Structure 1
Amino acid sequence: MTFLKSLQKVVTALATAVIVFSVVSFSGSGVATAKADTALPADTDSSLQLDAKAAIAVDANTGQILYAKNADQALPVASMSKLMTAYMVLQAIDNGKLKWDQKVTPGKAAQEVSQDTTLSNVPLKEGHSYTVRELYQATLIYSANGAAMALADAVGGTQKNFIDLARKEAKKMGLKDVELYTANGLANGEVKDGKYPGAADDAENKFSAKDMALLSQRLIKDYPEVLKTTKITRMKFNNGTDQTEMENWNWMLPGLAKAYSELPVDGLKTGTSDSAGACFAATVNKDGHRLITIVLGAKHDSQEDLSRFEETQKLMSYCYNNYTYASLAKGTTFKKTNALPVYHGKELDVKVSLATKTDVWLKSGVSKDQLSAKAVGNKKLYKKDGLQAPLKKGQKVGTLQIKAKDQPMYFLDGTDYLSADAQTTTEVKKANIFVIGWRAITSLF
């Protein structure tokens, strides 16, 4: 027993010395590193001739980009800006700062703008109060400019404070090509006394198609109840004396002028101005797989122009005709995926598989067999250069970066791979002190 104890002390001392004074090398440590943005091509598929300045189509769940045209170019978006206002209202309700039945008395600027019959509006009476819900519905369904400003006052206290809050929120979302001046998308000088101080009268809100898609994705993910409002085709607004018949400007909704009969379009928001042209953020759900499409700067000759809806339908049809939706089950493994290193494990590495079901859009002619994945470990679980043993079977230990052969991939987060949680395929017990010591000794030589 005395000899064994002495041997154990020697082995432990040697192991400690080697660990402190040398680096044990593991092949392919796979520790997570900072993401690098992958630049989008100016046009991901020139065969699709869209008559618009910019466009993008993305999967609402994963953020996979199926098509992009000038998607990083900041352009005027007019009333599509109201999606940010809607997000801020829903966030304030979620945080308890606002309530749906809370009464709001529109400020002077909001009330004045609401009386402009050349704009999309529900007329708000001076000194009269409206519920947050009524103003929210008017903003999303009828694109009411005065109502959007009244909501901005309710959220921020003033128009300026609201814009400052919205700018901070945009930054938190990771929106990079955004300019915000008004809550409704009108030019700064068009919102009367509500204009943003220090900015020119012709300053107007701008988004890139990519950032508008990211905002739309966040809105649907964080507050899916927004779709209950954006899919309403018609509703009446009571301004206290008269009623305004509101018809949704999204004419792709069922029963309206450009309804997409094959698929249930249920949102999101149009935008129109001389500088922005005809714009549209749309979303459609087919077999539980939701797409978001953005069209900016389509032809705009009159209020009755259908071009943005025609270009949107063309974009949606392109996605469904050129891609298949592939589901990847939990436990799926991929060819040539690197194992992750294990620190002081009985085994020195562990293989991984998908920890949760995920999905990917594959171009026609590309199959799931052509998918490959790189395993990247969660550095929070690492000690030295490996995952710290012991590890359970099925334990989440990092991510898989999934790519497809012969199909470039692009995502809203700037990566060129589908990121999914990775789990261990087997358990790994911790090695005993003799094994650890022996490895330390052999590593010296």
Structure 2
Amino acid sequence: MKKFITAIIAIAFTFSAFSPVAGAEERGVQLTENAKSAILIERDTGQVLYEKNGHEKLPPASMTKIMTMLLIMEALDEGKLTWDEKIRTSEYAASMGGSQIFLEAGEEMTTDEMLRGIAIASGNDASVAMAERIAGSEEAFVEMMNTKVKELGLNNTLFQNPTGLPEKDHYSTANDMAVMAKELLKYEAITKYTGQYEDYLRQNSEKKFWLVNTNKLVRFYPGVDGVKTGFTQEAKYCLTATAKKDNMRVIAVVFGAPTPKDRNAQITNMLDYAFSHYKTHPMYKRNIAVEKVEVSKGARKEVDAVTSEPISVLTKKGENVDDVEKVITVDEKVKAPVKKGDKVGTLVLKKGGKVVSESDLVAGSDSMEASWWQLFKRSMGHFTKVD
């Protein structure tokens, strides 16, 4: 059973009529001539603003690390990992080729340092070290990656490693990469890493190591603060980029550009197009409580249903929104145990009966199973009530 709560929002948004936004392809705009595939989306709504061969399966190279970073951020959010925990490097992790931060077998770095090595320098060795810490082995971590792919509803991605090093049947699409980046960007702390142009590791040692971001747009395009580049001979030059201007965050993806210059130019074209044609109207931040959910036989009798991500409405510039209908659907009674982050409902925004945004509501805290003594006291409380 579900519980429905509907509210018509008219007082907070004094705007004019809303109509579905038209993407660049509908306008006949070509933004990515020298790329195998590309896509441009607005982060909060997921609205596609431009697409070229967005569902074509292609090698993602180091853009694979978007999923690796997503699982790291989830582990941190769930308390399974801490920022200052020291991660030990195995011989296998230290043996990774390609881009690396030159970890030695037995060397330890904190989660914070490892993530800097992955996000800024695209370290394959750091990626494998984190994979082994989180899942026990690289193979088990890859299973987690592909499970998360399915949870996100993506049908055209399959991972074989956490690095993006060439391997048979390791592929993704521009659309799927954009969705993964959308999920990663729920964790606002990630851009402190992906948006940093340079940094140092082992700073107080003789092996001081300079990190320089492989995504040069972080330095040269205002508002760009992520997410991940990629290159192999097979994949050519790839980039999933994100930029924020005013209240609007967009994600642009390019696969298979012939040169770094082409890759950056086409990403720039998409970002320019988004910011010159569209506007985002924020409605909710992440982790905002919107309703209570009863927990059957829980140590806590109820938990907050909170927003799982920022929620907004997107319009073309010059247009606004009014009388947005908010429809909150929560489970009428959830059975313990409930863990923080478990889905407990949905928040939908509608305009004129048309869905313009849909997002999960999740438990804002844990509610483990109540002890027999707690349940006994509750049952006795029912008998001792006086009218």
TM-score, with length taken from structure 2: 0.69
Q: 2:79 is matched with which residue?
A: 96
Question: Match of 1:76, SS?
Answer: coil
Unaligned ranges ≥5, structure 1: 1-39, 189-202, 331-355, 382-395, 405-415, 422-445
Q: 2:356 is matched with which residue?
A: 418
8 Å contact from structure 1 (residues 282, 293) kept in 2 = yes
Aligned equivalents of 1:329, 1:103: Cα separation in 2: 39
Question: Match of 2:217, SS?
Answer: coil
Q: CA deviation at 1:315?
A: 1.0
Aligned equivalents of 1:288, 1:375: Cα separation in 2: 20
Question: Match of 2:95, SS?
Answer: helix
Q: 1:205 is matched with which residue?
A: 170
8 Å contact from structure 1 (residues 186, 204) kept in 2 = no
Q: CA deviation at 1:251?
A: 0.2
Question: Match of 1:206, SS?
Answer: coil
* 1:24-423 alignment runs, 5 A limit: 44-50=26-32, 51-113=34-96, 116=97, 119-188=98-167, 203=168, 205-221=170-186, 223-238=187-202, 241-254=206-219, 259-260=220-221, 263-300=222-259, 305-321=260-276, 323-325=277-279, 327=281, 358-362=312-316, 367-368=319-320, 399=348, 401-402=350-351, 417-419=355-357
Aligned equivalents of 2:105, 2:134: Cα separation in 1: 20
| Code of the aligned partner of 1:235 | D
Q: 2:382 is matched with which residue?
A: none
Q: CA deviation at 1:98?
A: 1.7
| Code of the aligned partner of 1:206 | Y
Q: Once the two structures are superposed, what CA deviation does each residue of 1:196-254 show, in whole Å capped at 9, x if it has no partner? A: xxxxxxx1532111111111111111x11001111111111229651221100110112
Q: 1:21 is matched with which residue?
A: none
Seen in structure 2, the aligned counterparts of structure 1 residues 110 and 97 have a Cα distance that, compared at 3 Å, is same
8 Å contact from structure 1 (residues 141, 233) kept in 2 = yes
Aligned equivalents of 2:271, 2:352: Cα separation in 1: 23
8 Å contact from structure 1 (residues 44, 69) kept in 2 = no
8 Å contact from structure 1 (residues 106, 128) kept in 2 = yes
Unaligned ranges ≥5, structure 2: 1-21, 285-309, 333-344, 360-387
| Code of the aligned partner of 1:84 | M
8 Å contact from structure 2 (residues 312, 357) kept in 1 = no
Fraction of identical pairs, as percent:
27
Q: 1:199 is matched with which residue?
A: none
| Code of the aligned partner of 2:226 | G
8 Å contact from structure 2 (residues 348, 355) kept in 1 = no
8 Å contact from structure 1 (residues 42, 71) kept in 2 = no
Aligned equivalents of 1:53, 1:269: Cα separation in 2: 18
Q: CA deviation at 1:47?
A: 2.5
8 Å contact from structure 2 (residues 60, 230) kept in 1 = yes
TM-score, with length taken from structure 1: 0.60
Ranges of 4+ aligned residues in structure 1 off by more than 3 Å: 40-46, 326-330, 366-369, 371-381, 396-404
Aligned equivalents of 2:165, 2:346: Cα separation in 1: 48
CA RMSD of aligned residues (A): 3.3
8 Å contact from structure 1 (residues 77, 296) kept in 2 = yes
Larger radius of gyration: 1
8 Å contact from structure 2 (residues 44, 311) kept in 1 = no
Greater strand content: 2
Question: Match of 2:50, SS?
Answer: strand
| Code of the aligned partner of 2:60 | V
| Code of the aligned partner of 1:236 | Y
| Code of the aligned partner of 1:418 | V
